[in-house]
Amino acid sequence: MPVWISVVFILIVATSLVAMLMQRRGRRMFGGGVDAASGYVEGTLTVTGLGRQNEPDKNGSRYCTISGTIIGPQIAPTEVYGTQVLGADDVAPTVGASMPVVYRPGKVDSTWRFGVLGD
């Protein structure tokens, strides 16, 4: 096997390991946090359905399958469905609750998540 193939493979593995370690420590290797400059906007999710409540993992995080309608600037009301991660201290959503979310206009159904824009 040529040496260059081994070198490329080692570089790919090393880059992957560095990216995983940085993500685990809460840093982002590519891109920054969510703020208005990154193209995200704030909206409100009205919860219309919830999946079964899951048990917390070893870090206290819980997965929540949720559906609802997002209302916000630059978009018509949009039906969304997805799985979100709730932290140990986060309150579990209930049907009918209004929750703050951030999303990219035009890609609401694939980019939404709980939160507000940072300064």
DSSP string for 30-89: SS--SBGGGT-EEEEEEEEEE-PPPPP-TTS-EEEEEEEEEE-TTS--EEEEEEEEE-TT
Which is more confident, 10 or 53? 10
Q: Which pTM was predicted?
A: 0.61
Q: What is the mean pLDDT of the chain?
A: 81
* Nearest of 68, 65, 20, 26 to residue 45 by alpha carbon: 68
pLDDT, tens digit (0-9, with 9 covering 90-100), for 68-85: 999 998 889 999 998 888
CA distances from 72 to 27, 88, 95 (A): 28, 28, 19
Classify residue 108 by its DSSP letter: H
